[in-house]
């Protein structure tokens, strides 16, 4: 009884069913006041569904939720906010064309006696977390980290007792992350509880006091952080033990496959490099350094000032992605939802997309072959889906990504370009993607890989190029050189 007093949130037996999926199965959590509570789990484990129920976006099917000693039957996002439960999504909910102050008190200007009071109040709140952002600057001009501060301040303006942070670090640099850490500690000191959801286990270990591990809609375990090790956590998340986060590096000894010479665009300066058969080449650099621009330029997706490509010894012209595809290239873009998938289309349609031009005879499609391809790649990549006709948006991030990779595997690409192939996908699916990459190079293909996760790109690549400010600043063999040396070159 005594302990109950100190709980900010008590979730018991919450169940949520979607057509065909049991998203949450009898989930129970107890979150004390003033702690940072980590929730980890693979994509599709039910974390987001649970948060959406807490914040009133979804209705639960069964179970009870007790917030701050009060049983909550129905709630809406705005009621949840007013009760003191805020959620900061991965994609911020801010109006880019309005000022910081206006965003913090959006729709509540009169409560502060007009605009002047609003900015004053916003200033006080920002000061309270030690942020120096001008309340009169436009949100659209802020960096990702500053926007996050605005979101946190917005949560504070509602006198939140519980703040949910969903993947808060996904767009932050290392330094910004440290700042976020400081603020989390400070909020905790004020008695505010935080639910911290992240795929990045380092952060979970650094910030969280208690961790709940979820899998397949169930709570697998809840432990205080001291009782957990990294490998325990991963094993519980995926339901099996993974000895290694990365498969052994594939070896290669290939001749040059693609030579890129004299590549210049408005953002890139004199890019020259060679990709070999059977090689995984990693591009390392900060976001905005020009990594994506390089691969898009090679693939013919962007305009270039100059570019020479030599493939297997012969000069080739790539002006459009169509040319690139004809030469045996494939691109898995960085933004899965905006650039990769047709979310409203079926899994099958998304998988067969690239192969259509090959199976079409004189422009006539072949439905039977399309079904075969979809079936083959679903099996080949063990894509978890009820069937090929399921809409792709119903799959988890990892399985969505596999659909895009499968799309290209069907064409046996000579060069597969992967831009952030494991962003936002869980440990188990990541490993499967790595294994796939190794399989592609073993079969004589080559991969260019971009990743913001340094350990990943260093563990997977045979060779890395560091990119800074649109230039190649170094070339390393990650097996021989220390990660800090490489990062140093990438930062410039």
Partner 1 sequence: MEKTINVKKIVLQNLVLLGIIVLCIVTAIVEPLFLTQDNFTNILRQFGPLSFAALGMTYVIIGGFIDLSVVGTISLVGVVTLSLIDPIGQAGALFCGLLLGTFLGFLNGVILVKFGAMTQAEVLFITYGMSSIFGAIALIYTNSETEHMSRLSNPYTIFTFIGNGKIGPFTASIILFVIALIIIEWFYRKTLWGRQIALMGGNKTAATLCGYNMKKTLVLVYTICGLFAAMGSIVLISRVTTASPVAGAGYETDAIMSVVVGGTALAGGTGSGIRTVLGVLLIILLSNCMNMLGVSTYLQTIMKGLVLVIAIWLDNRKEQQIH
Cα three-residue angle 267-471-442, rounded to 5 degrees: 110
Place of tokens 């917005």: 154
> Which residue stretch of 215-223, 269-277, 340-348, 378-386 sits at the interface with partner 1 (rule: CB under 8 A)?
340-348
**How many residues of this chain bind partner 1 (CB under 8 A)?**
30
Binding of residue 76 to partner 1 (CB under 8 A): no
Burial of 344 (0-12, 13-18, 19+ CB in 10 A): exposed
Binding of residue 22 to partner 1 (CB under 8 A): no
Residue 16 in contact with residue 24, Cβ under 8 Å? yes
Residue 349 in contact with residue 387, Cβ under 8 Å? no
For partner 1, the binding residue among 5, 229, 363, 484 (CB under 8 A) is: 363
Residue 10 CB coordination number (10 Å): 18
Instruction: Quote the least distance from Cβ 359 to partner 1, whole Å.
Output: 9
What is the C-alpha to C-alpha distance for residues 65 and 77, in angstroms, rounded to an integer? 15
> Which residue stretch of 112-120, 178-186, 192-200, 348-356 sits at the interface with partner 1 (rule: CB under 8 A)?
348-356
Which H or E run includes 37? strand 36-41
Cβ neighbours for 244, distance < 8 A, ≥ 6 positions apart: none
Binding of residue 319 to partner 1 (CB under 8 A): no
For partner 1, the binding residue among 402, 407, 414, 423 (CB under 8 A) is: 407
What is the C-alpha to C-alpha distance for residues 138 and 168, in angstroms, rounded to an integer? 21
For partner 1, the binding residue among 67, 196, 273, 299 (CB under 8 A) is: 299
Binding of residue 365 to partner 1 (CB under 8 A): yes
What is the distance of C-alpha 442 from the center of its chain? 27
For partner 1, the binding residue among 339, 382, 443, 477 (CB under 8 A) is: 339
Binding of residue 233 to partner 1 (CB under 8 A): no
Residue 49 in contact with residue 17, Cβ under 8 Å? no
Instruction: Quote the least distance from Cβ 338 to partner 1, whole Å.
Output: 7
| Closer by beta carbon to partner 1, 89 or else 205 | 89
Instruction: Quote the least distance from Cβ 440 to partner 1, whole Å.
Output: 18
| Closer by beta carbon to partner 1, 162 or else 404 | 404
For partner 1, the binding residue among 290, 328, 333, 470 (CB under 8 A) is: 333
For partner 1, the binding residue among 354, 427, 429, 448 (CB under 8 A) is: 354
| Closer by beta carbon to partner 1, 165 or else 311 | 311
What is the C-alpha to C-alpha distance for residues 253 and 279, in angstroms, rounded to an integer? 8
> Which residue stretch of 115-123, 250-258, 326-334, 431-439 sits at the interface with partner 1 (rule: CB under 8 A)?
326-334
> Which residue stretch of 39-47, 107-115, 357-365, 430-438 sits at the interface with partner 1 (rule: CB under 8 A)?
357-365
> Which residue stretch of 97-105, 143-151, 334-342, 375-383 sits at the interface with partner 1 (rule: CB under 8 A)?
334-342
| Closer by beta carbon to partner 1, 215 or else 325 | 325
Question: Distances from the Cα of 46 to the Cαs of 22, 202, 355, 422, in angstroms?
Answer: 9, 21, 33, 19
Binding of residue 57 to partner 1 (CB under 8 A): no
**Tokens of residue 177, six digits:** 């992350």
Cβ neighbours for 116, distance < 8 A, ≥ 6 positions apart: none
What is the C-alpha to C-alpha distance for residues 337 and 195, in angstroms, rounded to an integer? 26
159-188 residues near partner 1, rule: CB under 8 A: none
**Tokens of residue 190, six digits:** 């004020």
For partner 1, the binding residue among 13, 247, 321, 474 (CB under 8 A) is: 321
With CA atoms as reference, report the closest residue to 34 among 156, 184, 225.
184
Residue 45 in contact with residue 216, Cβ under 8 Å? yes
Residue 282 in contact with residue 458, Cβ under 8 Å? yes
Instruction: Quote the least distance from Cβ 364 to partner 1, whole Å.
Output: 6
The contact pattern for partner 1, residues 408-437, with x = CB under 8 A and - = no contact, is ------------------------------
Residue 144 CB coordination number (10 Å): 13
Q: Which residues bind to partner 1, rule: CB under 8 A? A: 19, 299, 301, 320-322, 324-326, 331, 333, 338-345, 353-354, 356-357, 360, 363-365, 391, 393, 407
């Amino acid at each position: 009884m005594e302990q109950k007093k100190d709980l900010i949130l008590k979730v018991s037996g919450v169940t949520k069913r979607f057509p065909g999926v049991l998203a949450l199965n009898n989930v129970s959590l107890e979150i004390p006041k003033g702690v940072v509570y980590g929730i980890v789990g693979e994509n599709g484990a039910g974390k987001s569904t649970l948060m959406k129920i807490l914040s009133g976006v979804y209705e639960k099917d069964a179970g009870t939720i007790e917030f701050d000693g009060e049983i909550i039957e129905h709630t809406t996002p705005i009621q949840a906010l007013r009760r003191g439960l805020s959620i900061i999504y991965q994609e911020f909910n801010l109006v880019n064309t309005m000022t910081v102050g206006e965003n913090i008190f959006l729709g509540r200007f009169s409560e502060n006696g007009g605009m002047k009071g609003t900015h004053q109040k916003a200033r006080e709140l920002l000061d309270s977390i030690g942020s120096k952002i001008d309340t009169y600057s436009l949100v659209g001009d802020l960096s990702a980290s500053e926007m996050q501060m605005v979101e946190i301040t917005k949560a504070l303006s509602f006198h939140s007792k519980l703040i949910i942070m969903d993947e808060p670090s996904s767009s932050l640099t290392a330094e910004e992350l440290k700042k976020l850490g400081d603020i989390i500690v400070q909020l905790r000191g004020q008695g505010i509880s935080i639910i911290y959801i992240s795929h990045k286990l380092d952060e979970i270990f650094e910030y969280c006091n208690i961790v709940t591990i979820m899998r397949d809609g169930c709570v697998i375990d809840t432990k205080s952080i001291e009782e957990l090790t990294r490998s325990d956590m991963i094993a519980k998340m995926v339901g099996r033990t993974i000895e290694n986060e990365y498969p052994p590096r594939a070896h290669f000894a290939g001749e040059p496959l693609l030579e890129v010479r004299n590549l210049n665009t408005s953002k890139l300066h004199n890019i020259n490099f060679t990709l070999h058969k059977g090689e995984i080449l990693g591009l390392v650099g900060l976001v905005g350094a020009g990594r994506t621009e390089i691969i898009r330029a090679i693939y013919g997706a962007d305009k270039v000032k100059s570019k020479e490509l030599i493939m297997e010894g012969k000069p080739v012209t790539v002006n459009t992605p169509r040319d690139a595809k004809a030469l045996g290239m494939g691109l898995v873009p960085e933004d899965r939802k905006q650039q990769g998938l047709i979310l409203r289309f079926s899994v099958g349609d998304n998988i067969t997309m690239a192969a259509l031009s090959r199976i079409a005879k004189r422009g006539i499609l072949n439905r039977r072959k399309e079904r075969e391809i979809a079936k083959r790649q679903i099996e080949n990549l063990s894509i978890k889906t009820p069937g090929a006709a399921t809409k792709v948006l119903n799959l988890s991030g990892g399985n969505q990504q596999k659909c895009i990779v499968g799309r290209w595997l069907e064409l046996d690409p000579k060069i597969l370009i992967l831009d952030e192939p494991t962003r936002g996908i869980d440990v188990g699916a990541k490993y499967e993607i790595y294994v796939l990459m190794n399989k592609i190079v073993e079969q004589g293909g080559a991969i260019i890989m971009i990743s913001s996760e340094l350990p990943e790109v260093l563990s997977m690549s045979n060779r890395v190029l560091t990119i800074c400010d649109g230039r190649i600043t170094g070339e390393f063999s990650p097996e021989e050189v220390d990660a800090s040396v490489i990062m140093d070159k990438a930062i410039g």
